[in-house]
A = this chain, B = another copy of it.
Amino acid sequence: MGFYELAFHAPGTSYVRTYYRRPIGMLPGKVPPEILQRIVFSKLGRSDPDVILGPEIGEDAAVIKVGDQVVIAATDPITGSLEDVGWLAVHVNANDIATFGVSPRWFLASVMLPPGYTPDQLGKIMNQIDSAAKELDIAVTGGHSEITESVSQPIVVGFMMGIAPTGRYVTSSGAKPGDALIVTKTIGIEGTSILATEGASYLSNGVGKDIVEQGQNLKNSISVVKDGVTAFQTGFIHAMHDPTEGGLANGVHEICDASGVGCELENDLIPIHEATRKICEYLQISPLELISSGSMLISCESRYASKVIDELNAVGIDSAIIGLVTADATYRKVRLDGMLQNLPRPSTDALWAALKKISLS
């Protein structure tokens, strides 16, 4: 780490006092947006006219022009799962491509294992990648695997690509005032399944075994590929986004930031699974701020919202209108018990506090 030296000089005197201050280290989780904006997004190598969409807050992948098509490309690592690291690496990266309304097609992975891991353990991870890829009709086209002392548990970094004809996709920046905001399935799916798995015995005492089991099973709903591709094909979608860290609340802020719009949500309309509601209540966290892979956030022309919901329903996906997009980008509200309140902007995911509660129990 190292320490910064700060010298204060009292003006008009020769008095100098030197302080040593520890630089502010970053906490586990995604690097905060303001740091990304300042440090990362200004460091982008050469500028290239074929890069249609580069790194942006709230965008899930890059869009690159190749002939008369575009390649959509995303990368995400799985660093915190012992059981499902290979399976999650495929789904999480596939979700990023699906937010463009595009089917994920080609997957590469860098697999890193601590020394002493066996070929069988590698085989288990590869089986997960294989089966998740087959579920989603994705080809695994390459990768790298190595044993390294720099990791303390298996990490899989995924890289996913899809293609679309030029212009035949949406981003998170296309939401328009007057649009309906739709979410698919229920919110907090990913967070609920993590909490129900990690805190199984603790939560069983609080909410019952049935609820815990339902929470664990939500894992199987983590893909939004069908959600995104089906919604896009209706032709009525202006923007989509995959709410991950910071939950639905943060996801709505991100789509509003990217589109330069505001929003008004109805808390009572937000679909929450019984297991999510009970587990969040018991752990005293907000389901709106819980990591939310599994639910797609969609901004679509209001008058066609019911058509979009019908089409999703026809492929077995529940969805609901949760509010409207407004013109004023500073207006971000949610109606709760009849009162309009500011939509919370979580600085960190509710998952971390909840996991801490579980581990201390």
Give chain A's interface residues, CB within 8 Å of chain B. 1, 23-31, 35-36, 38-40, 43-48, 50-51, 54-55, 59, 61-62, 64, 66-69, 71, 73-77, 79-80, 90, 105-113, 115-120, 122-123, 126-127, 129-130, 132-134, 137-153, 155, 157, 159, 161, 163
- Asked whether B118 lies within 8 Å of A23 as measured between CB atoms, the reply is yes
Check A27/B115 contact, CB under 8 A, given A45-B139, A47-B139, A51-B106.
yes
Q: Complex: how many Å from CA A66 to CA B130?
A: 23
Q: Complex: how many Å from CA A212 to CA B120?
A: 42
List the B side residues contacting A112 at CB < 8 Å.
77, 79, 155
- Chain A at the B interface: SS class: mixed
Extra inter-chain contacts (11) besides given A24-B118, A30-B146, A45-B129, CB under 8 Å = A1-B118, A48-B105, A48-B141, A54-B141, A55-B143, A62-B108, A64-B141, A66-B69, A73-B159, A75-B159, A151-B155
- Asked whether A109 lies within 8 Å of B75 as measured between CB atoms, the reply is yes
- Asked whether A142 lies within 8 Å of B79 as measured between CB atoms, the reply is no
Check A140/B43 contact, CB under 8 A, given A28-B115, A116-B1, A145-B31.
yes
Contact of A45 among B44, B110, B138 (CB under 8 A): B138
- Asked whether B147 lies within 8 Å of A51 as measured between CB atoms, the reply is no
List the B side residues contacting A27 at CB < 8 Å.
115, 147
Q: Complex: how many Å from CA A74 to CA B75?
A: 12
List the B side residues contacting A149 at CB < 8 Å.
28, 152
List the B side residues contacting A31 at CB < 8 Å.
111, 122, 145-147
- Asked whether A108 lies within 8 Å of B159 as measured between CB atoms, the reply is yes
- Asked whether A146 lies within 8 Å of B73 as measured between CB atoms, the reply is no
Contact of A122 among B35, B106, B126, B141 (CB under 8 A): B35
List the B side residues contacting A106 at CB < 8 Å.
48, 51, 62, 64, 73
- Asked whether B55 lies within 8 Å of A142 as measured between CB atoms, the reply is yes
Q: Complex: how many Å from CA A310 to CA B265?
A: 68
Contact of A26 among B66, B73, B116 (CB under 8 A): B116
Contact of A139 among B24, B39, B51 (CB under 8 A): B51
Check A139/B48 contact, CB under 8 A, given A76-B144, A106-B62.
yes
List the B side residues contacting A139 at CB < 8 Å.
44-48, 51, 54
List the B side residues contacting A161 at CB < 8 Å.
64, 71, 73
List the B side residues contacting A35 at CB < 8 Å.
119, 122
List the B side residues contacting A62 at CB < 8 Å.
106, 108, 141-142
Give the Cβ gap from A108 to chain B, nearest Cβ, in Å: 5
List the B side residues contacting A118 at CB < 8 Å.
1, 23-26
Contact of A110 among B1, B71, B157 (CB under 8 A): B157
- Asked whether B28 lies within 8 Å of A126 as measured between CB atoms, the reply is no
List the B side residues contacting A134 at CB < 8 Å.
45-46
List the B side residues contacting A25 at CB < 8 Å.
115-118
List the B side residues contacting A80 at CB < 8 Å.
148, 150
Give the Cβ gap from A46 to chain B, nearest Cβ, in Å: 5
